[in-house]
Structure 1
Amino acid sequence: MATKPNILWFCADQMRYDTIASLGNSEIRTPNIDRLVASGTTFENCYVQNQICTPSRASFLTGRYPAAHQVYRNGNSHFPVEEKLITKTFDENGYDCGLVGKLHLSTAAHLESRPDDGYRHFEWCQNPAWERVPASNAYWTWLRNKGVDPKMLFSDAKQYLRIGPEPELHQANWIAERAISFMEEARSGPWLLSLNPFDPHPPFDPPERFLARFGDGETLTPPLFRQSDIAHQARFFDVRTQKRVAVNPVLSPEEKRTQQIEEGDIRGSKPPDRFDGKKVKAAYYAMIENLDAAFGRILDHLENTGAIDNTVIIFTSDHGELLGDHGLIYKGCRFFEGLVRVPLIFAGKGIGKGHRSRAMVETIDIAPTLLDLVGLDISPAIQGKSLGPLMTGKSIPDTHKDCVVTDFNDSLGNSAVTHYTQASMTCDGRYKLAVYHSHPGLGELFDLHEDPDEFVCRWNDPAYASLKSDLLARHLDRMMGTVPAGPERVAPA
Structure 2
Amino acid sequence: MHAAYDGCIAYLDHVVGGLLERLQREPWYEGSLVIVTADHGELFGEKSLIDHGNSVDHGLTSIPMIVKFPGQTTPREVQSSVSQVDVFSTIAAAAGVALPGPRPGVDLAAGDLDGGRTIVIESYPSINFIRDNPKMDRMERALVKGRWKMIESSRGRRELYDMVGDPDESVDLSSSRAEAQELDGLLREWVASAESQRPEATFPPNERDLIPNLQALGYVK
TM-score of the two chains, using structure 2 as the length reference: 0.77
Provide closer, same or farther for how the CA distance between residues 366 and 404 of structure 1 changes in structure 2, counting only shifts above 3 A.
Answer: same
Alignment correspondent of 1:409: 124
Alignment correspondent of 1:472: 184
Provide closer, same or farther for how the CA distance between residues 350 and 304 of structure 1 changes in structure 2, counting only shifts above 3 A.
Answer: closer
Matched, 1:458 2:177: no
Spell out the pairing of 1:197-212 with structure 2 (5 A cutoff): none
Alignment correspondent of 1:482: 194
Alignment correspondent of 2:65: 344
After superposition, the C-alpha distances for 1:108-149 in whole angstroms (9 at most, x for unaligned) are: xxxxxxxxxxxxxxxxxxxxxxxxxxxxxxxxxxxxxxxxxx
Spell out the pairing of 1:11-410 with structure 2 (5 A cutoff): 280-351=1-72, 353-380=74-101, 382-390=103-111, 398-399=113-114, 402-410=117-125
Cα distance in 2 for partners of 1:362, 1:415 equals 27
2:145 aligned partner, one-letter code: D
Cα distance in 2 for partners of 1:367, 1:467 equals 30
1:479 aligned partner, one-letter code: V
Cα distance in 2 for partners of 1:318, 1:412 equals 18
Q: Look up the SS of the partner of 1:308 in the other structure.
A: coil
Cα distance in 1 for partners of 2:83, 2:59 equals 15
Provide structure 2 residue ranges, at least 5 long, that are not aligned to the other structure. Answer: 200-221
Matched, 1:428 2:149: no
Question: How far 1:344 sits from its partner (Å)?
Answer: 1.1
After superposition, the C-alpha distances for 1:160-207 in whole angstroms (9 at most, x for unaligned) are: xxxxxxxxxxxxxxxxxxxxxxxxxxxxxxxxxxxxxxxxxxxxxxxx
Cα distance in 2 for partners of 1:328, 1:475 equals 25
Instruction: Determine if contact 2:143/2:149 at 8 Å carries over to the other structure.
Output: yes
2:124 aligned partner, one-letter code: N
Question: How far 1:322 sits from its partner (Å)?
Answer: 1.1
Question: How far 1:356 sits from its partner (Å)?
Answer: 1.2
Cα distance in 2 for partners of 1:416, 1:349 equals 44
Provide closer, same or farther for how the CA distance between residues 311 and 414 of structure 1 changes in structure 2, counting only shifts above 3 A.
Answer: farther
Question: How far 1:479 sits from its partner (Å)?
Answer: 2.6
Q: Look up the SS of the partner of 2:30 in the other structure.
A: helix
TM-score of the two chains, using structure 1 as the length reference: 0.37
1:334 aligned partner, one-letter code: S
Quick one: higher RCO (CA 8 Å, sep 6+), 1 or 2?
1
Question: How far 1:484 sits from its partner (Å)?
Answer: 5.6
Cα distance in 1 for partners of 2:145, 2:70 equals 30
Cα distance in 1 for partners of 2:23, 2:179 equals 50
Q: Look up the SS of the partner of 2:161 in the other structure.
A: strand
Provide structure 1 residue ranges, at least 5 long, that are not aligned to the other structure. Answer: 1-279, 391-395, 488-493
Provide closer, same or farther for how the CA distance between residues 402 and 434 of structure 1 changes in structure 2, counting only shifts above 3 A.
Answer: same
Cα distance in 1 for partners of 2:22, 2:5 equals 26
Matched, 1:446 2:161: yes
Higher Rg: 1
Instruction: Determine if contact 2:115/2:146 at 8 Å carries over to the other structure.
Output: no
Q: Look up the SS of the partner of 1:298 in the other structure.
A: helix
Q: Look up the SS of the partner of 2:183 in the other structure.
A: helix
Give the total of aligned pairs.
Answer: 197
Instruction: Determine if contact 1:405/1:479 at 8 Å carries over to the other structure.
Output: no
Cα distance in 2 for partners of 1:315, 1:359 equals 17
2:97 aligned partner, one-letter code: L
